[in-house]
Amino acid sequence: MSKIMRVNMTDRTVAYEDVPEKYKLLGGRGLTSTIIYDEVDPTCHPLGPNNKLVFAPGIVTGTNSPTSGRVSVGGKSPLTGGIKESNAGTGWSQLTARLGIKAIVVEGYPQDDGWWGLHITKDGAEFFSADEYVGKGLYEIYPQLFARFGQKVGIASIGIAGENKYSNSGVCFNDIDNRPSRYSGRGGLGAVMGSKHLKLIVVDAAGAPGVEIANKELFDQGRKKLLDALRSHPITKPGGALNSYGTAVLVNIVNEAGGLPTHNFRTGRFEGAAKISGEAMAEYCETRGGVGRMGHPCHPGCVIQCSNVIPNPDGSELVSVIEYETTWAFGANCGIDDLDVIGKLTWMANDYGMDTIEAGGTIAIAMEAGLAEFGDGKRAIELMEEIGKGTPLGRILGQGAATTGKAFGIVRVPGVKGQNMPAYEPRAIKGIGMTYAISTMGADHTSGYTIAPELLACGGDLDQFDRDKADLVRAFQYTTAFIDSTGHCLFIAFAILDIASGFEGMVEECNGLLGTNWTGDDVTRIGKEILDKELAFNRAAGFTPADDRLPEFMKYEKLPPHDVVWDVPDETLDAVFGE
């Protein structure tokens, strides 16, 4: 029988509770957002004693369902001031689910200066001093932790960024090879973990009972349908786009569409795009050899395998992983076209415990402020070092792009609700711009990935400049909230959008595991229920429709090469959720 684990950092106690009836059919984002909605005062300080941090595996996480090793981390965000769910793909979530833990709720506030770790096994949980791991890079301490606890455990931790309570700090999880490289990065939830002086959570599932499945025959039927869809869709299949070139296969595609933000969102095309693309990464792996590889899984059971290991010139490891968002953030957005420099910056973000999107966006703002020239990779590395050292400048940069923009009087800050935009220019791709504007999470492409029909002809083939997309944006956000709750990677969306049996398989998996009778209509219903709670939390926190807007400069500054501005009416944005 699954339990909810409550970790109280005030008196350092752990208690297991039966799962309340209203939570039994929830998982992942649905569970984290519901617990935060139910238990956290929306007006509380994100780093104060009344915020909570919730970890929740997805509904089917811990089973043999394909590509289902996602974990959701939730809380009130120090970056946006609203509700936050940030997820990652990692074996940590699978181990947690197999222990029968539906959610870990971290609450309370430290009463001393000590730092703590939590070791969870089938026999319970114990605190241990983590002082020896504080102030060090994650690449240094992860091998020490695996040597101490065994190579088959999972580790969730914060880095120096979380210890310093930077608004740009994530929660780091180990990948399939035990690197500190899989992140619930967005929204500063690492700072919430740091505010509670919880440095790390080690999970050991040896002897665990496993995940209970109510109807295994139905579950297996759904699993096979979804697996077949993933293995046949051109984007997700073995040897397909994601498997061959990683998520950075998008670099050349989005650049050609004129939607690749360059030089802090000044233009939609980058001359050096081909040098930082997924194709370039694949060439690095082939010509440099050594440990380099594309088609690397982030967690056991991932059949898409869109991760990578990028080699140095001598074949040794530079970093894993450089995602599309990362190569854009440190690359095109900063005017840098050198993958070795981008790899170094990525390694530093992993080591410090930071979100690469926000970090790259912040460096671009620093360049806008004259602290570096666009394209100066050496100076970009120096600015990241300031963050790691915790210097006064580093502490400003560690708070993210919006704070850095305010500190240096920069008008051109491309963010929503305090969160920097990802790698799609909203002036050139209107649906994703609407998603940025109205998302409960701040500017976030994963809230509703309308890029699929807007640029990839997946789930439809829409004009990227069309402004009449309220219904599309709403539907994508509801469906995404459900997918985030299942524990599946968002990338299953490509297959289930185009292959009806894949969508059926996802629903049947959930029915088989939970013993429910959901239909496709319930996907929308459940997604709406999740969004309604998140919207209500944000309204109670003080958000108004004025927060669901893109930056003013995008309304009057034309974006080359199409010379377009942000021209979606406010009324259209407000109509998405019926405000």
Give me 570's structure tokens.
């406010």
C-alpha 477/C-alpha 526 separation (Å) is 11
- CA dihedral sign, ordered 538, 542, 546, 547: negative
Beta bridge partner(s), residue 420: 415
Distance between start and end Cα atoms, the chain? 41
Domain ranges of the chain: 3-203, 234-498+544-576
Instruction: Specify the pLDDT at position 579.
Output: 56
C-alpha 325/C-alpha 343 separation (Å) is 13
Residues 21/2, Cβ–Cβ less than 8 Å: no
CATH superfamily for 3-203 is Aldehyde ferredoxin oxidoreductase, N-terminal domain (3.60.9.10)
Helical packing angle, 377-389 and 339-352, nearest 10°:
10
The three-class DSSP label of residue 42 is coil
Please give the backbone phi and psi of residue 149, each rounded to the nearest 5 degrees, phi first.
Answer: -110, -10
Please give the backbone phi and psi of residue 89, each rounded to the nearest 5 degrees, phi first.
Answer: -105, 120
The three-class DSSP label of residue 504 is helix
Residues 326/342, Cβ–Cβ less than 8 Å: yes
C-alpha 92/C-alpha 307 separation (Å) is 17
The three-class DSSP label of residue 85 is strand
Instruction: Specify the pLDDT at position 134.
Output: 98
Beta bridge partner(s), residue 201: 118, 156
| Sequential pLDDT tens for the chain (579 residues) | 799 999 999 999 999 999 999 999 999 999 999 999 999 999 999 999 999 999 999 999 999 999 999 999 999 999 999 999 999 999 999 999 999 999 999 999 999 999 999 999 999 999 999 999 999 999 999 999 999 999 999 999 999 999 999 999 999 999 999 999 999 999 999 999 999 999 999 999 999 999 999 999 999 999 999 999 999 999 999 999 999 999 999 999 999 999 999 999 999 999 999 999 999 999 999 999 999 999 999 999 999 999 999 999 999 999 999 999 999 999 999 999 999 999 999 999 999 999 999 999 999 999 999 999 999 999 999 999 999 999 999 999 999 999 999 999 999 999 999 999 999 999 999 999 999 999 999 999 999 999 999 999 999 999 999 999 999 999 999 999 999 999 999 999 999 999 999 999 999 999 999 999 999 999 999 999 999 999 999 999 999 999 999 999 999 999 999 999 999 999 999 999 985
Of 34, 118, 149, give the one whose Cα is nearest residue 527. Answer: 34
Give me 337's structure tokens.
């076209």
Instruction: Specify the pLDDT at position 196.
Output: 98
Give the side-chain half-sphere CA count within 13 A for 227.
13
Instruction: Provide the 8-state DSSP code for 246.
Output: -
C-alpha 166/C-alpha 163 separation (Å) is 8
- CA dihedral sign, ordered 313, 315, 319, 320: positive
C-alpha 279/C-alpha 245 separation (Å) is 6
C-alpha 507/C-alpha 474 separation (Å) is 20
3-state SS, 433-480, equals HHHHHHCCCCCCHHHCCCHHHHHCCCCCCCCCCCCCCHHHHHHHHHHH
What is the full DSSP assignment across 112-158?
Answer: SS--EEEEEETTEEEEEE-GGGTTS-HHHHHHHHHHHH-TT-EEEE-
- Do you find a cis peptide bond into 561, omega within 30 degrees of 0? yes
Instruction: Specify the pLDDT at position 1.
Output: 74
Query: Count H helices, E strands: the chain?
Result: 23, 17
Strands ordered across the beta sheet of 293-296: 293-296, 307-311, 317-319
Strands 3-8 and 101-107 come out as: parallel
Per this entry, what is the length of the chain?
Answer: 579
Instruction: Specify the pLDDT at position 468.
Output: 96
Q: Which CATH number describes the domain made up of 234-498+544-576?
A: 1.10.569.10
